[in-house]
Structure 1
């Protein structure tokens, strides 16, 4: 008895073990919830490269705009009297000028964020991650996340990013240590230009390094995502049942449909012209109406029990039954109910109908 219980327990755990790949429906459901493999390093890398690239392209214009604002402030605004109208005009003009300076950089930053997300997850709109969930406030689950393998990987990844960016920054400063020490001998404009170039170089190099690191991070994120959405054999079966319906219920529905079809079919037998039999296993009821069809129509067919029922109804309604073994079998296999017979059976069925009409004429 203990052995049997042990086997049942092992089977139960085996059924619940996540060993199966996620089905397309499971993937679609997790995507709707916003659960997709994505690396934040891709976003950060693209953001750094495009933003510092924009600073390199528009830096001169931004410097001129800022210099113009400062010059106007000390040459014009400083002589204004403090009034509500002058303060409003001052803030409005300064806001417009600052917007002109920052708009290109902010626009490129938005494009970088949208593009980096698009290349990873495609087009996706979902509000599921924004919904309030009390489970997120569970301290036990939070502690498990802190001391999980994923948290360890994130820690190693963060240390690696900090080390990489620190090395890149130090290397750029070390390479340019000569010009850096000589900035005190240069004009303010030349010194600012030098520091601007060094800063842009650091940003571009750091962004490129993060993009290289993001390739490894994205591979890991995909692996971790696939692992988390794995399904057990029981999950796959349950999903199949939900999509296709319970097999027991489906069989009952099909049985009910067969019963309704058989009942409807039996109601057509009294109007048939002839029933062709095997004589015991097959029965096919044929009706010929020139007004409805150019060829005879199969109004009912069946084997074994259904064939017996067709013959009983035909006998009760005095429908002629003709025995033709090969024709009955062929009609059953190659004809559909409420459809005209195939052209290959025209001659054989015509002979049977002619025989039936002769009998009716004699009667």
Structure 2
């Protein structure tokens, strides 16, 4: 398991932010073996399809370069023009092959880690000029692994080449008995076959290296639990700060709510634990509105404000609890509590109009069973 510089274990998978930061720095999984095998296979396929044509064109070009008039040999200007023409023709012949190689070289890295361009990766690093650091890199585990891979690749290619020569040895010896033109074509075919055979062997190397590079890249990006926590804090904000913000927001909300209590028509209490302030204006409201509610200390403050503003306080414990747990601030009361609240408001209006009202058993108001709480 990877460890951090302070000895803490990197046991957590990298977050998306960590992965994106590594991409911004140019750190993406790359496999040189994948690029190598794709380029060699592409070259082999290209020569297999167009090799004979290229050989014939180069033979024609060679014949043209070696058969010229005597006056050309003794005229530097004509000789120079001939050489330039031959060079341009040679460039023209190899251009398709070069284009194929360039395209494969650009596409193959994208297959594994995707396209990534980072100016940070191009920036010079002073640490790379340190000879001590360079020696450490030479004898690091990664350098030894790369050496092992190179030796294994060399051994594999050598074994496959030897295997091919063993079976094609008879054909190679027979080349000396064939006519020149036929021998050259036959030799070209053997070279292309050998190239394809050896290139296919590199698939084994790429099949091992690609999963390893993906695993190694993920291992390098792994994080400690503390790093994950720190990143979470950066993204979500410090929990203490967020808690303080929420506390301030609650206090501001409570102050605004307490400022509305004097507007209430009635305060329904538990009598001490819960308090709910209701307001109802028949001309402007279709339903009674909950403008404030509180528990314990806030409930006591609401009762105090109600007494200071001559607001009727009704002790209806079941209704107070039902409203506290089912109603919302600045929203109409729940529909199922209409009858119970209507009885309370009727009692309050009788008190305001005549100074007295018929007694109501507020402990037995019609409250649905699913809204009753202990």
TM-score range, shorter chain: 0.7 to 0.9
**Does the alignment pair 1:159 with 2:151?**
yes
Q: CA-to-partner distance for each residue in 1:5-54, whole Å, 9 max, x for gaps?
A: xxxxxxx966x233333333323322332323332111111111111101
Deviation of the 1:113 alpha carbon: 3.1
Instruction: For residue 176 of structure 1, give the secondary structure of its aligned residue in structure 2.
Output: helix
Which stretch of the first structure deviates more once superposed, 102-111 or 326-335? Answer: 102-111
Q: CA-to-partner distance for each residue in 1:148-167, whole Å, 9 max, x for gaps?
A: 11211111110011111122
Contact kept, 8 Å, 2:233 with 2:239, in 1: the verdict is yes
Alignment of 1:1-363 (within 5 A): 16-70=8-62, 95=88, 97-98=89-90, 100-289=92-281, 293-362=285-354
Cα 1:135–1:335 shift into 2, 3 Å: farther
Contact kept, 8 Å, 2:29 with 2:113, in 1: the verdict is yes
Aligned mates of 2:72, 2:347 — CA distance in 1: 122
Instruction: For residue 21 of structure 2, give the secondary structure of its aligned residue in structure 1.
Output: helix
Contact kept, 8 Å, 1:69 with 1:94, in 2: the verdict is no
Q: CA-to-partner distance for each residue in 1:52-72, whole Å, 9 max, x for gaps?
A: 101111223323443454566
Instruction: For residue 283 of structure 1, give the secondary structure of its aligned residue in structure 2.
Output: strand
Aligned mates of 1:170, 1:225 — CA distance in 2: 35
Aligned mates of 1:169, 1:131 — CA distance in 2: 41
Contact kept, 8 Å, 2:273 with 2:295, in 1: the verdict is yes
| Gap runs ≥5 in structure 1 | 1-11
Deviation of the 1:204 alpha carbon: 1.7
Aligned to 1:5: none
Contact kept, 8 Å, 2:164 with 2:197, in 1: the verdict is no
Aligned mates of 2:238, 2:349 — CA distance in 1: 51
Deviation of the 1:255 alpha carbon: 0.9
The number of aligned residues is 347
Instruction: For residue 338 of structure 2, give the secondary structure of its aligned residue in structure 1.
Output: helix
Deviation of the 1:307 alpha carbon: 1.4
Aligned mates of 1:105, 1:290 — CA distance in 2: 89
Cα 1:303–1:104 shift into 2, 3 Å: same
With normalisation by structure 2, the TM-score equals: 0.82
Deviation of the 1:197 alpha carbon: 1.8
Instruction: For residue 278 of structure 2, give the secondary structure of its aligned residue in structure 1.
Output: strand
Aligned mates of 2:59, 2:283 — CA distance in 1: 96
| Gap runs ≥5 in structure 2 | 356-374
Cα 1:117–1:291 shift into 2, 3 Å: farther
For the aligned residues, what is the CA RMSD? Answer: 3.0
